[in-house]
DNA sequence: TGACTATTCAC
DNA sequence: TGAATAGTC
């Protein structure tokens, strides 16, 4: 009789879950375990929005396992202690899991794997949440790629991987006691989660449904639609991927099927796949440079004179900067735990370049407020915008929030959705309310400076300031 | 996966 | 006078 533990974490799914699948093949008795140990992930323990999602994701996984006669065993405490206790209680001889890549988690897992093996417990680990194994995609000089395009080309040359695994046929019974999900106290005390609940449906079944809906509708014109925050043309799979309710292999597989079945443009498919490629690039980068969560990948930026402006930061966080596209994005984030990717770039450029606030500050706010908060992607993308990341936006690429707003929200629908106080403003002014003539303001029942803030900074001079500071960065040769 | 500015060319 | 283009940060 062989008893196997499956140590689940950010792979809260039954399908295409290699750890679960292979454990089910090998085990007479299978015990799926989730260990709540946020203290082990500090200083990057999950933020408030993530905890909300986690609560619901665990609940649905619990139900899904229950429906198949199994049970999710939830425990709290130090991971090693919990595993040790479970092994003693059950006589388990093997532990299965899918790799975690956040530096703190990866270190802990490596330590625990060594400890288990030293105690003659089998350890089986899998790369179930990535398409390519971090560390396995290298340049000819066996160094990490620092530019996306050749990285992704090298990945694609390896193929898109094996087809997804099915849900294991036989999970078997599990009679251990579990803590209730509620005992983990993941839900916020303030009634902040109403916005999240009305925006999202966590869980594996919903993730698969979301994927199929995207492939049937928006994927065909993704190349053009993806940049429009006023439309629902992105996949919105990010939180499902972040919690492993769906695997990137399943996403790839569905996208390829859609391409075969209907006339999805190759451009759109390649563009969408390359977004998964950026996700891979971020994970591989964090694998090679685990300090990248807090330290610029380009050492020139260690000397950058970031400012500390609490008032500016607060205005940005609250969506009260006076720039509609910034404020709409930040309010969308606060309300729904998510922001359109185009808008993420705009608000990040605004905070770091116009506002000169450190990218780490912005990354931390996103970490706490995003339901899709993902340490690899979040750190990587903030570094990218700030100009200190790999294959980063050059320092001179500074978004103008008004131009971006006009280009990507041409009818102002996105702005009106999130800024009701401006909803009556007609079009040229909606993107630049501070220039609205007094009589128009009066007719539209809004007074700028009273009902909606005047701009907290000057775009022109702050842009020049950022350019000057960037130009002055010392040259550090990157041997 | 920018924006700004000067310059040119067609009215 | 405005669109298109090139050069610069």
A6 beta partners: A32, A96
Q: C2 C1' – A221 CA distance, angstroms?
A: 32
Q: Show which of A263, A288, A313 is a domain's final residue.
A: A288
List residues of A with catalytic annotation: 275, 278, 306, 341, 359, 382
Indicate the burial class of A76 (C-beta count within 10 angstroms; 0-12, 13-18, 19 or more). Answer: middle
Mean of the pLDDT values across residues A146-166?
93
Identify the pLDDT of residue A271: 93
Each residue's pLDDT tens digit, A34-74: 999 999 999 999 999 999 999 999 999 999 999 999 999 99
CA distance A214 to A235: 6
Query: What percent of chain A stands above pLDDT 70?
Result: 98
Residue A349, annotated as binding a ligand: no
Do A353 and A459 fall into the same domain?
Answer: yes
Q: Which long-range contacts (CB under 8 A, 24 or more apart) does A442-447 make?
A: A446/A421, A446/A422
> Rounded to the nearest 10 degrees, how much is the dihedral formed by the CA atoms of A378, A379, A384, A385?
60
Q: B11 C1' – A427 CA distance, angstroms?
A: 29
Nearest partner of A398 among A471, A293, A309, A327, judged by Cα: A471
Do A255 and A385 fall into the same domain?
Answer: no
Do A12 and A143 fall into the same domain?
Answer: no
Give the max Cα distance, chain A. 82
- Of residues A395 and A138, the one with the higher pLDDT is A138
The residues near A378 (Cβ < 8 Å, ≥ 6 apart) are A363, A366, A367, A370
CA distance A256 to A261: 9
Q: Show which of A237, A269, A288 is a domain's final residue.
A: A288
Query: What percent of chain A stands above pLDDT 90?
Result: 90
* Residue A388 Ramachandran class (φ > 0 left, ψ -120 to 50 alpha, else beta): alpha
Q: B10 C1' – A410 CA distance, angstroms?
A: 28
Mean of the pLDDT values across residues A235-258?
96
Nearest nucleotide (CA of A463 to C1'): B3
pLDDT band at A265 (very low <50, low <70, confident <90, very high): low
Each residue's pLDDT tens digit, A359-409: 999 999 999 999 999 999 999 999 999 999 999 888 889 999 999 999 999
Nearest nucleotide (CA of A396 to C1'): C9
pLDDT of A209 strictly over 70: yes
Each residue's pLDDT tens digit, A162-183: 899 999 999 988 889 999 999 9
Identify the pLDDT of residue A283: 98
Structure token digits, residue A414:
């996105």
Do A122 and A16 fall into the same domain?
Answer: yes
Identify the pLDDT of residue A478: 40
Do A316 and A456 fall into the same domain?
Answer: yes
Mean of the pLDDT values across residues A305-317?
97
Nearest nucleotide (CA of A464 to C1'): C9
In this structure, is residue A177 part of a structural domain? no
Identify the pLDDT of residue A281: 97
Strand C–CB A396 distance below 7 A:
yes
Strand C–CB A434 distance below 7 A:
no
pLDDT of A18 strictly over 50: yes
Q: B6 C1' – A459 CA distance, angstroms?
A: 21
Residue A237, annotated as binding a ligand: yes
CATH for A209: 1.25.40.80
- Of residues A174 and A99, the one with the higher pLDDT is A99
Mean of the pLDDT values across residues A247-269?
86
Nucleotides of C under 7 A from a protein CB: 9
Do A303 and A280 fall into the same domain?
Answer: no
Residue A235, annotated as binding a ligand: yes
Nucleotides of B under 7 A from a protein CB: 1-4
Structure token digits, residue A426:
């007609």
CATH for A72: 3.40.50.620
Strand B neighbours with CB under 7 A? A 148, 275, 278, 341-342, 345, 393, 396-400, 403-404, 407, 459-460, 463
DSSP string over A173-223: --------GGGG--S-SSTTHHHHHHH---SHHHHHHHHHHHHHTTGGGHH
Lowest mean pLDDT of A27-36, A254-263, A289-298, A310-319, name the range: A254-263
Question: Contact at 8 Å (CB) between A9 and A100?
Answer: yes
Residue A238, annotated as binding a ligand: yes
Strand C–CB A467 distance below 7 A:
yes
Residue A51, annotated as binding a ligand: no
Do A314 and A444 fall into the same domain?
Answer: yes
Q: Show which of A288, A316, A336 is a domain's final residue.
A: A288
**CA-atom Rg of chain A in angstroms:** 24
Nearest nucleotide (CA of A470 to C1'): C9
Q: Tell me the CA distances in angstroms from A364 to A43, A369, A466, one per residue in order.
A: 10, 9, 22
Q: What is the pLDDT of chain A when averaged over all its residues? A: 95
User: What is the domain count for chain A?
Assistant: 3
Q: B2 C1' – A385 CA distance, angstroms?
A: 12
Nearest nucleotide (CA of A468 to C1'): C9
Helix, strand, coil percentages (3-state) for chain A, rounded to 5, are 55, 5, 40
Each residue's pLDDT tens digit, A280-306: 999 999 999 999 999 999 999 998 999
Strand C–CB A291 distance below 7 A:
no
Residue A372, annotated as binding a ligand: yes
Q: Residue A141 is part of which domain span?
A: 130-164+204-288
């Amino acid at each position: 009789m062989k008893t196997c533990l499956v140590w689940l974490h950010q792979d809260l799914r039954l399908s295409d879950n290699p750890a679960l699948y292979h454990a089910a093949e090998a085990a007479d008795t299978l015990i799926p375990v989730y260990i709540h140990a946020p203290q082990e992930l500090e200083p990057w323990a999950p933020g408030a929005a993530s905890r909300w999602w986690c609560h619901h994701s665990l609940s649905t996984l619990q139900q899904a396992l229950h429906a198949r006669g199994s049970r999710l065993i939830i425990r709290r405490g130090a991971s090693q202690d919990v595993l040790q206790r479970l092994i003693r209680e059950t006589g388990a001889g093997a532990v299965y899991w899918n790799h975690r890549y956040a530096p703190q988690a990866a270190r802990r897992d490596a330590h625990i794997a060594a400890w288990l093996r030293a105690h003659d417990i089998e350890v089986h680990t899998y790369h179930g949440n990535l398409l390519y194994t971090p560390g396995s995609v290298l340049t000819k000089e066996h160094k990490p790629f620092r530019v996306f395009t050749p990285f992704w080309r090298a990945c694609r040359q390896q193929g898109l991987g094996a087809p997804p695994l099915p849900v294991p046929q036989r999970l078997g019974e599990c009679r251990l006691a579990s803590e209730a999900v509620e005992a983990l106290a993941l839900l916020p005390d303030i009634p902040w989660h109403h916005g999240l609940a009305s925006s999202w449906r966590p869980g594996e079944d919903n993730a698969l449904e979301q994927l199929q809906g995207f492939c049937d509708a928006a994927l065909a014109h993704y190349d053009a639609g993806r940049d429009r925050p006023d439309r629902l043309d992105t996949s919105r799979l990010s939180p499902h991927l972040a919690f492993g309710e769906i695997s990137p292999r399943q996403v790839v597989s569905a996208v390829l099927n859609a391409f075969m079945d209907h006339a999805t443009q190759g451009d759109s498919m390649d563009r969408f796949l390359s977004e998964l490629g950026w996700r891979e690039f971020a994970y591989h980068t964090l694998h090679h440079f685990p300090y990248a969560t807090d330290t610029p990948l380009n050492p020139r930026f260690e000397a950058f004179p970031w400012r500390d402006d609490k008032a500016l930061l607060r205005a940005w966080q609250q969506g009260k900067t006076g720039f509609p596209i910034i404020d709409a994005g930040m309010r969308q984030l606060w309300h729904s735990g998510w922001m359109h990717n185009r808008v993420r770039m705009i608000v990040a450029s605004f905070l770091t370049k116009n506002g000169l606030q450190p990218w780490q500050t912005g990354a931390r706010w996103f970490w706490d407020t995003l339901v899709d908060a993902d340490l690899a992607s979040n750190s990587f993308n903030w570094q990218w915008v700030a100009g200190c990341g790999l294959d980063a936006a050059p320092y001179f690429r500074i978004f103008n929030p008004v131009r971006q707003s006009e280009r990507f929200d041409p009818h102002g629908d996105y702005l009106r959705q999130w800024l009701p106080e401006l909803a009556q403003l007609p079009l040229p002014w909606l993107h630049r309310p501070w220039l609205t003539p007094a009589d128009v303001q009066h007719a539209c029942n809004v007074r700028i400076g009273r009902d909606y803030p005047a701009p907290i900074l000057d775009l022109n001079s702050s842009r020049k300031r950022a350019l000057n500071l960037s130009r002055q960065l010392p040259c550090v040769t990157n041997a």
